[in-house]
Amino acid sequence: MSAVPVAVADRFLGLLAVIALAATVAAVVMLVTRRVPAWAPRAALPAAAAIAVVTTLGSLYYSEVAGYPPCLLCWYQRIAIYPQVVILGVAAWRRDAQVWRTSVPLAAIGVAISAWHVVIERNPALAGPCDPDNPCTLVWVEEFGFLTIPTMALVAGLAVIALTLLARLGADDRAAADDTERTPA
Amino acid sequence: MSTAKPGAKPAAKPAGNRGRTVILAVVGLAVVAAVGAIAVLSVEEQASVKDLEDIAGPVEVTGDPLPPLGSDGSADALEGQGVPAPGATALTMAGEEVALGAGAGTGQVLVFLAHWCPVCQQEVPVLADYVAANGVPAGVELVAVMTGLDPGRPNWPPDEWLEREGLDATVVRDNAEGDLLRAFGVNAYPAWAVVAADGTLVGRRTGLLDDASIAALLASAAG
């Protein structure tokens, strides 16, 4: 039995996923409108790294503490998110906005798998009859009526993509500003 | 793009950057603490539920078990026609003994349901609505077998789930080891086995069935 009741952990991770979703929407709006406050790109990489860390710890909590065995699709999503802890952690430390070249493709693969996982969770018959051991359609967690484990993974992947692209946009803008300052009139 | 030379040490951070980093870290920790507090305060204690021993029942199986479903590559169609069905006895939640398969003396449609299986959760309302609207043919018994029992998985306990759904069928309990499951060669949920009154297997299949397929299965049990 875990020290923290699973229902509390579900709610905690669900609330963090809602915050990550809000951050993703905000980042997408900034990317589309190109109206970016100066602090946002600087905060983007640490936030993306934090999301990767929380997602990794959350998935380990569910499998190792709560006792929810990861299904096949869960494993594929883990492959896409666990390395981001190191990739984005180092990039946040070094302020390397070019990390999007590594991070975005990896996150995009995870997002595609998460999206399919969410689809079969919502329409389980698409995946055929239930595997008696550990079907991918099994819904272990459902917070606020929509946040299941793959939905949280989907949000995390989208957040990583949006935030690393936001960091890149900030770096590009700073480089353009530096070029303008250096160019003689 | 970074302007630092490869291998060069990053320049010392200006005091303003350090200040911003500290503010970011403090804000992040404050958000996590606030979310943790909300999570603790907003979750209510769950009422205690039934244990595995309350649901799993004693089961007795006779005859040879059927091979695993789909072993002839036809899991979507009826398979295993004409072979002798195994016989078994199991209990309802009320403790009444029910004969299953060979020895039941009546045509039976057995549907094996796992409470945590989302496809079973899709199937049960369809089946309940069909039976409520059409009933079952004379001489045929519809038996729902609660199997795959696991209190650690969602939608526990299964008897309350089936009652909620209003399924008008004889509901029996598999044991914790899943002996009924193995006797009928079930390896996916939901699974269906049709047994004729003379104890021969009319066929088995798995998956989500619509009204027409349910009607066909029930009719095939009537012979």
- The model's pLDDT over B178-199, given as tens digits with 9 standing for 90+, comes to 999 999 999 899 999 999 999 9
User: Contact at 8 Å (CB) between A61 and A169?
Assistant: no
Binary contact (A16, B32; C-beta < 8 A): yes
pLDDT value of position A88: 97
* pLDDT tens readout for residues B28-71: 888 888 888 888 888 876 665 789 999 998 999 998 899 888 75
Residues of B in contact with A98 (CB under 8 A): 1-2
Is a pLDDT exceeding 70 seen at residue B8? no
Which amino acid is located at B6 in the chain?
P
Task: Mark out chain B residues that contact chain A at CB-CB < 8 A.
Answer: 1-2, 10, 20, 24, 28, 31-32, 35-36, 38-40, 42-43, 46, 75, 114, 116-122, 148, 152-154, 181, 186-191, 206-208
The mean pLDDT of chain A is 92
Average pLDDT over residues A6-20: 94
Select from A156, A183, A2 the least CA-distant residue to A80.
A156
| Strand partners for B192 | B111, B205
Collapsed DSSP state (helix, strand, coil) of residue B11: coil
Q: Which residues of A touch B (CB under 8 A)?
A: 5, 7-12, 15-16, 19, 39, 42-43, 46-47, 50, 67, 94, 96-98, 121, 124-125, 128-132, 135, 137-140, 171, 175
Distance in Å, alpha carbon of B111 to nearest chain A alpha carbon: 13
Q: Residue B7: its chain A contacts at CB < 8 A?
A: none
Q: Which residue of chain A has the CA closest to B37?
A: A12
**Comparison of pLDDT for B22 and B108, the residue scoring more:** B108
Q: How far apart are CA A38 and CA B17, in angstroms?
A: 13
Relative orientation angle of helices A6-33 and B15-42, to the nearest 10 degrees: 140
Contacts of A137 (CB under 8 A, 6+ apart): A120, A121, A124, A127, A130, B117, B118, B119
The pLDDT of residue B3 is 44
Q: How high is the mean pLDDT of chain B? A: 86
Per-residue pLDDT tens over the stretch A73-124: 999 999 999 999 999 999 999 999 999 999 999 999 999 999 999 999 999 9
pLDDT of A157 strictly over 90: yes
Q: Per-residue pLDDT averaged across B197-214, rounded?
A: 93
* Confidence at residue A171, expressed as pLDDT on a 0 to 100 scale: 79
- Token pair for A155: 């949000």
**pLDDT beyond 90 at B95:** yes
The 3-state DSSP class for residue B155 equals: coil
Rounded CA-CA distance A5/B39 in Å is: 11
Residue B52 to residue B56: CA distance in whole angstroms: 6
Judged by DSSP in three states, B206 sits in strand
Measured distance CA(B13)–CA(B8) in Å, rounded = 14
Measured CA to CA in angstroms, residue B164 lies from A3, B6, B54 at distances of: 33, 67, 18
Distance from CA of A116 to the nearest CA of B (A): 16
A125: nearest CB among B38, B43, B122: B122
